[in-house]
Chain A
């Protein structure tokens, strides 16, 4: 037995450090392997393919450099899709984040029926989008649709909601909000329930007891981390808008509802221009990444984490 505690502890700790690191790596290895195969690998492959002129099935793709990217920049369809996607994100994200927050605040204030309203608002999240799209198609149908029937009964003109270029994107935005609202609401409800009641008590004693003062002093700042998360997740989801477009409009009429995901889909899977679709995908990924980074940078300064 050594008399010095350092001498007693030093060597074994070094050894333990090394074996601890090895254990840590061993534990992480499955997910690292999995992520390499399922995530980093495909992204890298897409990037490599985007530098070729590969058409799906072509046995001899040739290296094309940045040709696909040059074509993309010159393609008006890409710009239309980019604009439409931006429009969609710009409407759907704020509307569903603040709408979800509003609904969550209303529901959390209920003493009864809270579960009922929560379930009602969450149903659209659980419904398969394609099935929901079919239901919406029926509701929005120009001649037999319920919406136009109601409008006409009220003496208002009906519309061909999904076929009028000026209307189709706003209508898709409404559907997008309808689909996302329940999701943001549930996240905000969870965030609200984690705010300690003592903070509201303290606010009441300090004089912040009105609805607005309570919200500004306690609720909104305490929801900061949840709000950041909800913003990033809904934005990512909104960028990937595809199902409703594919089922209801196929990007029409005349590209009026063309969005990035649909362009990637039609280039890659309808026209089999895999190289070009890959270039679109790379651009798409870059936009999402940049958007998320900027968002979290902006928020991080203002969000309080416990």
Chain B
């Protein structure tokens, strides 16, 4: 049975430094939830608190409806895959994967070296454990590596062994701390798909930590965006992208980064920013400062638009990224153009870019998004 997880007002301070402040969230049973944020945002600390490896300064952790704060990691029914994989380097793959089962099913004296060959009941249990290890490693296609030591494995193989060690005891919750960051780019894409498949196959709860927004967006049911120890938004990847709650979320998610133009309400319902005119909900006082967020793909060349000079053109094959400096305030903005529909702008040329009005995002001075009457979710 997959477990859900609830965090209530988790905070963590070390000395005078605040690592996490007031984190509350509910993870549904069987959900794939990703904690994403730049390094140092506290996401790994939060994962360690869930695992029981670190203790929160205040707040509560509930796992499967049970208060878990005083449970040691081994009793929380969680398994963890570490960034470095943390395989025991002196043990073979088989022994590595067997550790969680041997620790649980055998008493200390039963794990002693000779006991296995002397006591029949222990031998039977060891056989059952070996069978389970065979089954798990076969399902991950690493059964041919069982006799090897971790140092004889490639990065991708080590990562699978770490997964196998986590899976072997059939935990209710999987915790993963940047498990792909030690892989090369090609392996990472493959492993991404494999982990998503694994989640579907096992049907248990995954909590996944990454600084890579692509991983977060492609694998998760829901994404938690964290920054400086704060939970900024928790929502589906689509909503995080198209309706970010906060300017910082909008800036963190999406490559290239969202274009942010600062401007002022010049009359009721109208905002001027970056040489462009934008519709805003009426009722906002004239003179109010606001920011307009425009995703690069929401900018199109047009006859009437913001005037800009092209400073750089990147051709990605499927897209063309145009870097241009706005005539009005010298700010650089990036537009993602379709090479099959528009002529490729040349370096130094003057272009006019117009945003797709239904895609623009409005933020108030504090960075909170203002639901615009025109803006609608693409999801």
Q: What is the CA–CA distance of A212 and B108 in the complex, to the nearest angstrom?
A: 9
**Known pairs A196-B86, A205-B51, A306-B89 / 8 extra A-B pairs, C-beta < 8 Å:** A196-B84, A206-B99, A207-B99, A207-B100, A207-B103, A208-B103, A209-B74, A213-B103
Are the CB atoms of B151 and A206 closer together than 8 Å? Answer: no
Smallest beta-carbon distance A74→chain B, Å = 45
Q: What is the CA–CA distance of A187 and B99 in the complex, to the nearest angstrom?
A: 29
Are the CB atoms of A201 and B108 closer together than 8 Å? Answer: no
30 A-B residue pairs with Cβ-Cβ distance under 8 Å, sorted by A, are A196-B84, A196-B86, A198-B82, A198-B83, A201-B48, A201-B51, A201-B53, A201-B82, A201-B86, A202-B82, A204-B53, A204-B72, A204-B74, A205-B53, A205-B74, A205-B79, A205-B100, A206-B99, A206-B100, A207-B103, A207-B104, A208-B103, A209-B72, A209-B73, A213-B103, A213-B108, A221-B88, A221-B89, A222-B89, A222-B90
Answer yes or no: A199 CB below 8 A from chain B CBs: yes
Answer yes or no: A304 CB below 8 A from chain B CBs: yes
Query: Which residue of the partner chain B has the closest CB to A302?
Result: B90
Q: What is the CA–CA distance of A206 and B103 in the complex, to the nearest angstrom?
A: 7
**CB-CB nearest 5 A-B residue pairs:** A207-B103, A304-B90, A202-B86, A221-B90, A198-B86
Smallest beta-carbon distance A35→chain B, Å = 32
Smallest beta-carbon distance B334→chain A, Å = 38
Contacts A205-B51, A213-B103 hold; do A304 and B89 have CB atoms under 8 A apart? yes
Name the B residues within 8 Å of A160 (CB-CB): none
Q: What is the CA–CA distance of A43 and B74 in the complex, to the nearest angstrom?
A: 58
Q: What is the CA–CA distance of A185 and B278 in the complex, to the nearest angstrom?
A: 71
Name the B residues within 8 Å of A217 (CB-CB): 88, 99
Task: List which B97-138 residues lie within 8 A (CB) of chain A.
Answer: 99-100, 103-104, 108
Task: List which B349-375 residues lie within 8 A (CB) of chain A.
Answer: none
Q: What is the CA–CA distance of A159 and B53 in the complex, to the nearest angstrom?
A: 54
Query: Which residue of the partner chain B has the closest CB to A224?
Result: B90
Answer yes or no: A218 CB below 8 A from chain B CBs: yes
Task: List which B64-102 residues lie within 8 A (CB) of chain A.
Answer: 72-74, 78-80, 82-84, 86-91, 99-100
Q: What is the CA–CA distance of A199 and B87 in the complex, to the nearest angstrom?
A: 7
Smallest beta-carbon distance A111→chain B, Å = 13
Task: List which A256-302 residues lie within 8 A (CB) of chain B.
Answer: none
Name the A residues within 8 Å of B149 (CB-CB): 304
Contacts A224-B90, A304-B90 hold; do A202 and B80 have CB atoms under 8 A apart? yes
Q: What is the CA–CA distance of A209 and B89 in the complex, to the nearest angstrom?
A: 18
Smallest beta-carbon distance A306→chain B, Å = 6
Answer yes or no: B165 CB below 8 A from chain A CBs: yes
Report, as a range, how many residues of chain B touch the other chain.
Answer: 20 to 34
Q: What is the CA–CA distance of A224 and B149 in the complex, to the nearest angstrom?
A: 16
Contacts A206-B100, A209-B73, A306-B151 hold; do A201 and B90 have CB atoms under 8 A apart? no
Chain A residues engaging chain B, CB cutoff 8 angstroms: 196, 198-199, 201-209, 212-213, 217-218, 221-222, 224, 304, 306
Name the A residues within 8 Å of B48 (CB-CB): 201
Per-residue A-contact encoding for B24-51, CB less than 8 Å = 1, 0 else: 0000000000000000000000001001
Smallest beta-carbon distance A303→chain B, Å = 9
Q: Which of A201, A209, A217 has the most CB of B within 10 A?
A: A201
Q: What is the CA–CA distance of A212 and B111 in the complex, to the nearest angstrom?
A: 12
Name the A residues within 8 Å of B103 (CB-CB): 206-208, 213
Name the B residues within 8 Å of A198 (CB-CB): 82-84, 86
Smallest beta-carbon distance A300→chain B, Å = 13
Task: List which B144-173 residues lie within 8 A (CB) of chain A.
Answer: 149, 151, 165
Smallest beta-carbon distance B158→chain A, Å = 13
Smallest beta-carbon distance B150→chain A, Å = 10
Smallest beta-carbon distance A192→chain B, Å = 16
Q: What is the CA–CA distance of A304 and B165 in the complex, to the nearest angstrom?
A: 20
Name the B residues within 8 Å of A199 (CB-CB): 86, 88
Query: Which residue of the partner chain A has the closest CB to B81?
Result: A202
Q: Which of B79, B87, B88 has the most CB of A within 10 A?
A: B88
Name the A residues within 8 Å of B72 (CB-CB): 204, 209
Q: What is the CA–CA distance of A212 and B86 in the complex, to the nearest angstrom?
A: 19
Q: What is the CA–CA distance of A205 and B50 in the complex, to the nearest angstrom?
A: 11
Query: Which residue of the partner chain B has the closest CB to A220?
Result: B90
Are the CB atoms of B73 and A204 closer together than 8 Å? Answer: yes
Q: What is the CA–CA distance of A75 and B87 in the complex, to the nearest angstrom?
A: 56
Q: What is the CA–CA distance of A199 and B53 in the complex, to the nearest angstrom?
A: 12
Smallest beta-carbon distance B70→chain A, Å = 14
Name the A residues within 8 Å of B89 (CB-CB): 221-222, 304, 306
Are the CB atoms of A205 and B90 closer together than 8 Å? Answer: no
Smallest beta-carbon distance B161→chain A, Å = 12
Query: Which residue of the partner chain B has the closest CB to A216?
Result: B111
Q: What is the CA–CA distance of A208 and B98 in the complex, to the nearest angstrom?
A: 12
Smallest beta-carbon distance A304→chain B, Å = 4
Q: What is the CA–CA distance of A60 and B356 in the complex, to the nearest angstrom?
A: 108
Q: What is the CA–CA distance of A166 and B373 in the complex, to the nearest angstrom?
A: 99
